[in-house]
Structure 1
Amino acid sequence: MSITVRKIVRHREESMREFGQPLERPHVVAAVLAVIDNPYPREYVEDLVTLADELGEEIGQLVGPACVELLGEDVEAFGKVALVGTAGELEQGSALIHNLRFGNVFRDAAGGTELLPAAEKVGLAGAPIDVPLKHKTNAKTRSHHQTVTLVVPDAPREREIVVGCVAANTGRPLARLATFGAEVGQA
């Protein structure tokens, strides 16, 4: 089996100022999303893993390296997303993105070692989804904990899933929190 892609959405934004302050360098976020036909049947099936194993690398290759390329510089923070149309099940989107055959493609392209933080939900076409990002090699790096909101105005349709990868070149603009554990003396 192979995936059926309706469209690919690429989003890239560069922020030069935050809260009235200039940034030392632009904060860049890139996202590549694939709008695919839901490969699972309409009725309940027990085994979601076999199909996710079969399709994971193909989907990962479609969005992971493209996200890194769109960012155009070294990835410091990353995350992944699945938004399932209303005639699908949350677990179907989860199966596709919580699969090492999917995640390892993006992790390798980004030079990461940490687990990819994720967001998944069922929603109507145009539903926003908030994607958490964390540092690619140290998830405890607080400066890189950030959330990106994504919207594809006409997706997912009822029998589609939006699957994607998100990357940032830095942590949050103007990050200035103490290191992880500092507030309880565990730095």
Structure 2
Amino acid sequence: MPDTQLRKTILTVEEVFHENGPAPEAPLLRGAIVAVIKNPYAGAYVADIQPFMDDLKPLGLLMATKLATALGGADRIEGYGKGAIVGEAGEIEHGALWHAPGGYAMRELLGDARAIVPSTKKVGGVGARLDVPITHINASYVRGHFDAMEVGCNDAPRADEMAVVLVMTTGARIHNRAGGLDAADITGEDGLR
């Protein structure tokens, strides 16, 4: 299995105080962590790429821990998402290797959250940006938590790199009033409702 070669991480935290309406008791926190890593499969077709997922698991847990800590602790997290930007010498399938390590790391850290972790990926050049979708950690139909966070890095990914991303939030969108299932009304164990 290839080793995970980490070049840098970028940690971003937003404090949202209002969106033209009344300020909440506490600001909504939205955060992202990006890890820029070497893509061991860049530049050539490799049939069996799945072993790299196991190598990415420790990185996923490290990233999830750092991000949750920056947002005040795992017990405060209500929303999450993940994504990957693959450098130009790679392929979209290389980004798919982040699905399990990134998603399971957050779910493990957050106490086995039930909802599937929404995800996106693309191939892009240096400075490419990615809109990472966000949903509630326990029920995908909680409309107030439908969100996205734009992430990227000014010098990544280089052609032979990937930028893998985790995103978390501490609540619904500020001034959420579009209706639908509320987080307080989650009843199911299936990650949907």
TM-score in same-fold range (> 0.5): yes
Matching of residue 58 in structure 1 with residue 58 in structure 2: yes
Whole-Å separation in 2 of the counterparts to 1:65 and 1:40: 27
SS at match of 2:44: coil
What secondary structure is seen at the aligned counterpart in 2 of 1:9? Answer: strand
What percent of counterpart residues are identical? 33
Cα displacement string for residues 61-88 of structure 1 (whole angstroms, at most 9, x for unaligned residues): 2311111111114100000111111111
1:128-163 Cα shifts (integer Å, max 9, x gaps): 100000000011100000010112111111111001
- Deviation of residue 179 (structure 1)? 1.4
CA contact 1:34–1:62 (8 Å) conserved in 2: no
Task: Letter of the 1:178 partner, please give it.
Answer: G
Question: Any gaps of 5 or more consecutive residues in structure 1?
Answer: 181-186
Query: In 1, distance between residues paired with 2:87 and 2:60?
Result: 20
1:103 aligns with 2:103: yes
Quote the offset at 1:58 in angstroms: 2.0
Counterpart residue number, 1:183: none
Question: Deviation digits for residues 39-76 of structure 1, max 9, x if unmatched?
Answer: 22421122222222x21312212311111111114100
Determine the structure 2 residue equivalent to 1:79.
81
User: Could you tell which deviates more after superposition, 101-110 or 125-134?
Assistant: 101-110
Question: How far apart are residue 32 of structure 1 and its match?
Answer: 1.2
Letter in 2 for 1:173: I
Which deviates the most, 158-167 or 11-20?
Answer: 11-20
Higher mean Cα deviation, 138-147 or 105-114?
105-114
3-state DSSP class of the match of 1:56? helix
Pairwise CA distance, 1:106: 1.4
Measure how far apart 1:103 and its partner are.
Answer: 2.1
**1:30-179 mapped onto 2 (5 Å cutoff):** 30-52=31-53, 54-73=54-73, 74-95=76-97, 97-99=98-100, 101-111=101-111, 112-179=113-180
TM-score normalised to structure 1 length:
0.89
Moved over 3 A (4+): none
Unaligned runs of 5+ in 2: 182-192
Note if contact 2:37-2:161 (Cα within 8 Å) is conserved in structure 1.
yes
Aligned to 2:52, what secondary structure does the other structure show?
A: helix
Bigger strand share: 1
How far apart, in 1, do the equivalents of 2:28 and 2:102 lie? 26
The residue type equivalent to 2:51 in the other structure is T
> Once superposed, what is the RMSD of the aligned Cα atoms?
1.6
CA contact (8 A) 2:77 2:168 kept: yes
Cα distance change on mapping 1:15 and 1:48 into 2, 3 Å: same
Report the residue type matching 1:64 in the other structure. A
1:166 shift after superposition: 0.6
